[in-house]
Chains A and B, each alone.
Chain A
Amino acid sequence: DAGVIQSPRHEVTEMGQEVTLRCKPISGHDYLFWYRQTMMRGLELLIYFNNNVPIDDSGMPEDRFSAKMPNASFSTLKIQPSEPRDSAVYFCASSLGVGLATPDTQYFGPGTRLTVL
Chain B
Amino acid sequence: RKEVEQDPGPFNVPEGATVAFNCTYSNSASQSFFWYRQDCRKEPKLLMSVYSSGNEDGRFTAQLNRASQYISLLIRDSKLSDSATYLCVVTPASGGSYIPTFGRGTSLIVHP
Which A residues fall within an 8 A CB radius of B?
A: 33, 42-45, 48, 55-56, 58-59, 91, 98, 102-111
12 A-B residue pairings within 8 Å (CB atoms): A33-B100, A42-B102, A44-B102, A45-B100, A56-B99, A59-B99, A91-B43, A98-B98, A105-B46, A107-B46, A110-B42, A111-B43
Residues of B close to A56: CB separation below 8 A:
97, 99
Q: Which residues of B contact A (CB under 8 A)?
A: 32, 34, 42-46, 49, 87, 91, 96-105
Instruction: Give Cα A108 to B34, complex, Å.
Output: 14
Is there an interface contact between A108 and B91, defined as CB atoms closer than 8 Å? Answer: no
Give the distance in Å from the alpha carbon of A90 to the alpha carbon of B100 in the complex: 16
Knowing A103-B32, A104-B32 are in contact, say whether A55-B97 is a contact too (CB < 8 A): yes
- CB–CB A104/B91 < 8 A: yes
Distance, CA A98 to CA B100, complexed state (A): 12
Q: How far is the CB of B4 from chain A (nearest CB, A)?
A: 9
Q: How far is the CA of A33 from the CA of B49 in the complex (A)?
A: 19
